[in-house]
Structure 1
Amino acid sequence: MNNQSEFDSGFGEHDCGLFDFQTFSGVFYILLFIISVTVNIILLCVLIAYENLTNVTNLFVVNLACSDLVFTVTLPFYAADQLHHWVFGDFACKFMTATYFVGTYSSVILLTAMTVDRFITVVLHNWPSNHGRRQRCAMGTCAAAWVISIAAAISDAIKVKVETNQGLNGFFCVGPSNSSVVNVGYYLQVSLLFFLPFAIIVFCYSAILKTVLQASNRKRQRTVVVVLCIVTAFLICWGPYNILLFIATFYIPIGCYLTNRFETAYNICRILAYSHCCMNPLLYMLSQKLRRHLLKLLHCENARQKNRERSTVQSTSVIQNVAFIAQNSAVMLELPSK
């Protein structure tokens, strides 16, 4: 968040007639917080109640949902920062920065691990392995993802602090001033935690899609499609934002026209990136089995079953009544006339 905060507090030129993205972003973050908490908790409840958590894919999805919730916790604070300024103090600045990066880094690592697992399962299916070993590797990978994310996030959080900006009249949670050391560190961070995973994901899915298109196992194809959608959503959401932050470290627009265009692009990419926290549950519901579980969780399925049973009973009663009336009519017709 250090590079982003510097960009927020020092880049915009308010005399250029810029669109008020701060108010729009603040309101959007609040709505995003409500949606993300709701859908991720529902997904966790569905998985815990109806799914086998020893399944490797489900294990990764549970950790991804937790990662999204960790990231979501920061949104109300950033909403308040956008609508006013940073009013939470220095400790909250460091803690929220660490939380932000834990959610972001863990998502990248978990998605890369999920893709590699799909690659091994689909492409290298002849490898000698068993379910127990694969499950242990997945659990170890998830634990490592959290440890690495927390360690990297603490390193980033130490650098940030609350400062005042004379031109904007407020307090801002920002990182250290630009320097060659900071820029080199950020280049390494972006390379190791976005572009390298991106290259791994592209390589793995190229091989996976080639193998799946040649196979006839529809169940495996559905699993691959769901995971592919989850990974693609992450790249679409976070890709433009990371690329723009990378460009912002060495490019400074001059003049109102370029400032407007660059800041507009930045704000749109940031909103798109933050919206990713509620994408995974929506995409995972592409699975027909998960949709059935959701209906059960919401008692819709039970209500439908009761309605069907009630309709069946009513239909049976009507048929019986009709049969009884017909039988009585037949008896009356058979009576001898006087």
Structure 2
Amino acid sequence: MSTTTPEYDEDYSGEELCNLDPNPVEVITQTYIHSFICAFGLIGNVLVIVTYIFYKRTKTMTDVYLYNVAVADLIFVVTLPFIIYNEQHSWLMGSVVCKILRSAYSINLYSGMLLLACISGDRYVAIVQARRSFGARSRTLLYSRLICSAIWVFTVALTLPTLLYTERFEEHSLLDQTTNVMCQLSFSETETAKLMKVVVPSLQMAIGFLLPLLVMVFCYSSIVCTLLRAKSSQRHKAVRVIMAVVVVFIVCHLPYNVTLLNHTLSLFKERSCEAEKIKLQVLAISRSIAYFHCCLNPVLYAFIGVKFRSHFQQIMLDLWCFSKKYIYTARSSRTTSDICISGRMSSDGSNNMMSFSA
């Protein structure tokens, strides 16, 4: 399986051509890993979206951001199986699909990371600036939707270079007389290639990692200080949640961005074939770790909240009741219906204590 950023195809040292294709073991391993990411990412993000549409509704700015994060992650996990299939079958779906699939990760990266930064900002305002923001909550939903719309437009603009310059093409190897069909950034002019091969990864690192990281560190550090001063039985749990959010973000995205930075800095330098193979392997592994973040977002930002968990339990109860309706007799259905109603009343009527992620 070729890497998602194999557009870096510069010349290497040595007289013989360098074969950078991954070995079969790497292909199989990445296929299983990406299939796992796709399955769990699909389940988690679909549950978040269903919960917001049919149960919880979007009542706060964080709700709007979380819903859009789930949509961004869902876009990527839906396209991931098609990426796997095409990489293993010479991009049979053609050039248009090649462009769309390669752009999917950029869309998920920029929109998802910027939305996570917005969530940290909203929590900062709600907790640290609580007194100032108390009187302005009636207009927050409109503001959050406008912010999300602006982020999606900005994301599409940042993805345009990938969409415009990604091409499906054939590469003929004189070394073993084979033809490889690839879907990569391709340029007709040298100057454009030099510019884009620096601009695209630089934007990914700056806007897709560094900017959200700085915002999250500032906001969550301020929140932790505020919570530690407050006399609340829930403060330690809230601090642990914040630490988990930041640590998972760094663990998932820092290795890929460090590797991408190292790769970008060496783009126009002569390097050995073996060193390049190792670098691409590390890039592929770290990128898979970054992909895994889309599976963890529903857990860190949604299911960890008390109120969200109660709505999720209601979904499970309704699914159970729905299945029982078509399995049991009329008498059993009547009993099951009573259980469902009482469960819904208990869920709606419970006075759950609001947690940090609620």
- The TM-score bracket by the shorter chain reads 0.7 to 0.9
Once structures 1 and 2 are overlaid, which stretch shifts more, 5-14 or 15-24?
Answer: 5-14
- Opposite residue 4 of structure 1, the aligned amino acid is T
Match of 1:181 in 2: 195
Cα displacement (A) at 1:231:
5.0
Name the CA shift for 1:19/1:246 in 2 (closer, same or farther; >3 Å): farther
On the 8 A contact 1:98/1:150 being kept in 2, the answer is: no
Q: Which has the larger radius of gyration?
A: 1
| SS of residue paired to 1:296 | helix
The answer for the alignment partner of 2:312 in structure 1 is: 294
More deviation in 203-212 or 171-180?
Answer: 171-180
Q: Which amino acid is 1:213 matched to? A: L
Could you tell me how far 1:174 is from its partner in structure 2? 0.4
> Structure 1 69/218 Cα, relative in aligned 2: closer, same or farther at 3 Å?
farther
C-alpha distance in structure 2 between counterparts of 1:152 and 1:136, whole Å: 24
Which 4+ stretches in 1 moved above 6 angstroms? 8-12, 300-303
* Cα distance in structure 2, aligned partners of 1:27 and 1:194: 26
Residues 26-81 of structure 1, C-alpha deviation per residue, up to 9 Å, x if partnerless?
23223322222222111222233332412222221111110100111220122114
The change in CA–CA distance for 1:300 and 1:216 in structure 2 (over 3 A counts) is farther
Give the Å deviation of 1:8.
8.7
Aligned residues: 306
Cα distance between partner residues in 1 of 2:21 and 2:3: 25
Aligned 8 A contact 1:23 1:83 in 2 = no
Instruction: Give the alignment's TM-score, normalised by structure 1.
Output: 0.77
Instruction: Kindly indicate whether residue 180 of structure 2 is the aligned counterpart of residue 165 of structure 1.
Output: no
Contact 2:252 2:289 in 1 (8 A): yes
Q: Hey, what's the Cα distance between the residues in 2 that align with 1:17 and 1:98?
A: 22
Q: Kindly state the Cα deviation for residue 218 of structure 1 after the two structures are TM-superposed.
A: 5.1
Secondary structure, counterpart of 1:4 in structure 2: coil
| Counterpart residue number, 1:275 | 292
Q: 1:90-119, CA deviations, whole angstroms, 9 ceiling, x for partnerless residues?
A: 111112223222121110110111111111
Q: Mind listing any 5+ residue stretches in structure 1 that lack a counterpart? A: 311-338
Asked whether the 8 Å contact 1:74–1:99 carries over to 2, the reply is yes
Task: Look up the match of 2:115.
Answer: 110
SS in structure 1 of the partner of residue 304 of structure 2 = coil
Determine if contact 2:165/2:186 at 8 Å carries over to the other structure. yes
Distance 1:100 1:262 in 2: 20
Q: Distance in 1 between matches of 2:211 and 2:65?
A: 20
Which of 58, 66, 69 matches 2:71?
66
Amino acid at match of 1:169: T
CA shift in 2, pair 1:260/1:189, >3 Å: closer
Higher helix fraction: Structure 1 or Structure 2?
1
Which of residues 70, 87, 90 is equivalent to 1:85?
A: 90
Listed as ranges, the gaps of 5+ residues in structure 2 are 322-334, 340-358
% identity of equivalent residues: 25
Superimposed CA distance per residue, residues 187-241 of structure 1 (whole angstroms, 9 cap, x where no aligned partner): 2453233212222221222212111111134567766755664454333212221
Following the alignment from structure 2 to structure 1, what is the Cα–Cα distance between the partners of residues 112 and 219?
17
- Give the distance between the partners of 1:102 and 1:15, measured in 2 at CA: 27
Kindly report the root-mean-square deviation, in angstroms, between the aligned alpha carbons of the 2 structures: 3.4
Using a 3 Å threshold, how does the CA distance of structure 1 residues 14 and 35 change in structure 2: closer, same or farther? same
**Residues 78-87 or 213-222, more deviating:** 213-222
